[in-house]
């Protein structure tokens, strides 16, 4: 496969996944904001989203105040913000457009249709219809695209690079969501009913609420939430599941220069595979997740270098 084609497929998948996870992150923040709390605390939560994506400076160029309205507008449909849901869906579509011949008609049409619908929604409409409806739409579109992709595409190299991009982004994004929310909940939580709703919102945003009930059959505790989202191999959005997938894909696409990247992925996988949640929490969850995100970043660099480099990256 052409390196440039692989690059576009990989980034198409990353941006599709990133849009979905952004919706998840904004959704949980929105849900949490519905629980009574001080305005300062609420605005801090919205500010944390900007910090998580290193977007404080870009945000401050157009907006005065960090509040729900402004952050939502900036992260949902501001075309000047490439990391907005709008920006991600546009980038996903542009990457797909560049290699549409490699995609099945269904995969291309789904990606294209998502972008066309996104383009036609004004923020005011989204706001008045309810942002949660919009987030559901983003998640649904992502699910449809993923469904037709895995349901129609030949299981060859093209699909491997799509899978790789999706897994890398998802692992990174789950770590980010957990990092920012765990911190907020654990330091400000009152351990009462409020807390239950807050943790519930976090789990729901990662489609993990029912999963939690099924796995633990017990009350929601922070440690278990962290364990579920990080270490459970059977939880599809967990760090464990994502890194395991990355290792398998790298094995399948192996070339003469990818041995080091494969080794790093194996090390990261083992690091999570053999981890215990008590040790992770003792070491400090934030430190652990930061280290994980750094290693994912390095893996991304390695993948670009080994497979995608001759092309001009679309990132």
Partner 1 sequence: MSTTFYNEMYDAAGALRPHYCAYADWLAATPPERIARKRAEADIAFHRVGITFAVYGDESAQENGKERLIPFDIIPRVIPSAEWQALQAGLSQRVKALNAFLNDIYHEQEILQAGIVPREQVLNNAQFRPEMMGIDVPSGIYAHIAGVDLVRADSDGKSGEFFVLEDNLRVPSGVSYMIEDRKMMMRLFPELFSRHKVAPVQHYPDMLLENLRTVAPAGVVDPTVVLLTPGAYNSAYFEHTFLAQQMGIELVEGRDLFVKDETVYMRTTQGPQRVDVIYRRLDDDFLDPLAFRKDSMLGVPGLLTAYRAGHVTLANAIGTGVADDKSIYPYVPEMVRFYLGEESLLNNVPTYTLRKPDDLKYALEHLPELVVKEVHGAGGYGMLVGPASTRKEIENFRARIVAAPEKYIAQPTLALSNCPTFVDDEKFGGIAPRHLDLRPFVLSGKNIDMVPGGLTRVALREGSLVVNSSQGGGTKDTWVLES
Q: Which residues contact 230 (CB under 8 A, 6 or more apart)?
A: 174, 175, 178, 238, 239, 240, 272, 275, 277, 280
User: Which range of residues in 54-62, 95-103, 162-170, 210-218 is near partner 1 by CB under 8 A?
Assistant: 95-103
DSSP state letter for 192 = S
Is the sign of the CA dihedral 43, 229, 296, 9 positive or negative? negative
Smaller CB separation from partner 1, 49 or 303: 303
The yes or no reply on residue 93 touching partner 1 (CB under 8 A) is yes
Q: Tell me how far apart the alpha carbons of residues 136 and 153 are, in angstroms, rounded to a whole number.
A: 25
312 binds partner 1 (CB under 8 A): yes
- 220: Cα within 13 Å, side-chain hemisphere: 27
| Contact characters 219-258, partner 1, x per CB under 8 A | ----------------------------------x-xx--
Q: Vertex 244, ends 104 and 291: CA angle to 5°? A: 115
Q: Would you count residue 108 as binding partner 1 (CB under 8 A)?
A: yes
Q: Which stretch binds partner 1 (CB under 8 A): 52-60, 114-122, 144-152, 192-200?
A: 114-122
The Cα 6–Cα 2 span in angstroms is 6
Site string for partner 1, 288-307 (x = CB under 8 A): -------------------x
CB closer to partner 1, 184 vs 308:
308
Q: Give the C-alpha distances (Å, rounded to integers) separating 227 from 48, 61, 110.
A: 23, 39, 34
Determine, following the binding rule CB under 8 A, whether residue 192 of this chain makes contact with partner 1. no
Contact 231, 240 (CB under 8 A): yes
Interaction of residue 109 with partner 1, rule CB under 8 A: yes
**Is 4 an interacting residue with respect to partner 1 (CB under 8 A)?**
yes
How many residues sit close enough to partner 1 to count as binding (CB under 8 A)?
Answer: 33
Query: How far apart are CB 295 and partner 1 at their closest, in Å?
Result: 23
Q: Which stretch binds partner 1 (CB under 8 A): 14-22, 109-117, 195-203, 235-243?
A: 109-117
Q: Is 314 in the site for partner 1 (CB under 8 A)?
A: no
What single string gives the DSSP state of each residue in 157-207? HHHHHHHHHHHHHHHHHHHHHHHHHHHHHHHH--SSHHHHHHHHHHHHHTT
Residues 6+ apart with CB under 8 A from 207: 237
Q: Which of 24, 90, 141, 237 binds partner 1 (CB under 8 A)?
A: 90
Smallest separation (angstroms) from partner 1 to the CB of 268: 22
The residue among 166 and 222 lying less far from partner 1, judged by its C-beta, is 166
**The token pair that represents 144 in the structure block:** 């449809």
Question: Is 163 one of the binding residues for partner 1 (CB under 8 A)?
Answer: no
Neighbours of 91 (CB within 10 A): 22
Least separation in angstroms between residue 115's CB and partner 1 is 7
- The answer to whether residue 106 forms part of the interface with partner 1 (CB under 8 A) is no
CA-CA-CA-CA dihedral for 17, 20, 21, 27, to nearest 10: 180
DSSP 18-38: HHHHHHHHHHHHHHHHTS---
Interface with partner 1 (CB under 8 A), residue from 52, 113, 275, 293: 113
Kindly list the residues in this chain that would bind partner 1 in the complex (CB under 8 A): 1-6, 90, 93-94, 97-102, 105, 108-109, 112-113, 115-116, 119, 157, 161, 253, 255-256, 307-308, 310-312
């Amino acid at each position: 496969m052409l390196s440039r084609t692989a690059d576009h497929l990989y980034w198409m998948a990353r941006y599709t996944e990133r849009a979905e996870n952004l919706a998840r992150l904004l959704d949980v923040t929105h849900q949490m904001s519905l629980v009574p709390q001080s305005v300062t605390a609420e605005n801090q939560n919205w500010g944390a989203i900007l910090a998580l994506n290193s977007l404080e400076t870009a945000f401050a160029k157009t907006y005065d105040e960090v509040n729900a309205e402004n952050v939502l507008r900036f992260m949902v449909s501001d075309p000047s913000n490439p990391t907005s849901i709008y920006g991600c869906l546009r980038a996903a579509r542009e990457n797909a457009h560049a290699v549409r011949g490699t995609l099945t008609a269904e995969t291309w049409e789904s990606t294209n249709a998502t972008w066309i619908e996104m383009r036609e929604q004004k923020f005011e409409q989204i706001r008045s219809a309810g942002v949660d409806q919009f987030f559901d739409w983003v998640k649904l579109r992502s699910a449809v695209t993923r469904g037709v992709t895995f349901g129609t595409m030949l299981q060859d190299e093209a699909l491997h690079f799509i899978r790789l991009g999706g897994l890398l982004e998802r692992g990174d994004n789950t770590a980010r969501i957990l990092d920012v929310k765990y911190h907020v909940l654990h330091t400000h939580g009152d351990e009462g009913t409020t807390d239950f709703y807050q943790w519930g919102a976090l789990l729901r945003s990662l489609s993990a609420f029912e999963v939690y009930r099924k796995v633990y059959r017990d009350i929601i505790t922070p440690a278990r939430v962290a364990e579920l989202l990080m270490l459970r191999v059977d939880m599809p959005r967990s760090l464990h599941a994502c890194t395991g997938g990355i290792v398998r894909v790298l094995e399948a696409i192996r070339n003469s220069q990818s041995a080091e990247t494969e080794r790093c992925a194996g090390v990261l996988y083992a690091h999570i595979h053999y981890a215990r949640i008590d040790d992770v929490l003792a070491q400090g969850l934030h430190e652990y997740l930061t280290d994980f995100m750094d290693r994912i970043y390095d893996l991304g660099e390695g993948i670009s270098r080994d497979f995608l480099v001759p092309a001009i990256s679309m990132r």
